[in-house]
């Protein structure tokens, strides 16, 4: 079920850049960071209720 609401970009520039690259390419670019696979996780802020998008890297 997709989340709906107001998107609040991260205060970290590299996070904003990674999310913009991924979403701007329709998921074709921005799927790796430092050579590791990345997914974008969308969550809702507990206090603000705004949407947050966070790149998560899989590290083994």
What tokens does 47 get? 């206090």
Q: Quote the pLDDT of residue 11.
A: 96
Blockwise average pLDDT, block size 10, the chain, 60 residues:
91 96 95 93 95 92
Q: Quote the pLDDT of residue 20.
A: 97
Nearest to 36 by CA among 19, 60, 15: 60
Residue-range domain boundaries for the chain = 13-57
Nearest to 16 by CA among 53, 42, 50: 53
CA distance 55 to 36: 11
CA distance 59 to 2: 26
Q: Quote the pLDDT of residue 2.
A: 83
């Amino acid at each position: 079920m997709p989340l709906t609401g107001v998107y609040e970009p991260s205060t970290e520039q590299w996070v904003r850049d990674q999310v913009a690259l991924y979403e701007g390419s329709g998921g074709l670019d921005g799927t790796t960071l430092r050579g590791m696979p990345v997914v974008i996780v969308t969550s809702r802020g507990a206090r603000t209720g705004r949407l947050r998008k966070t790149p998560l890297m899989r590290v083994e």
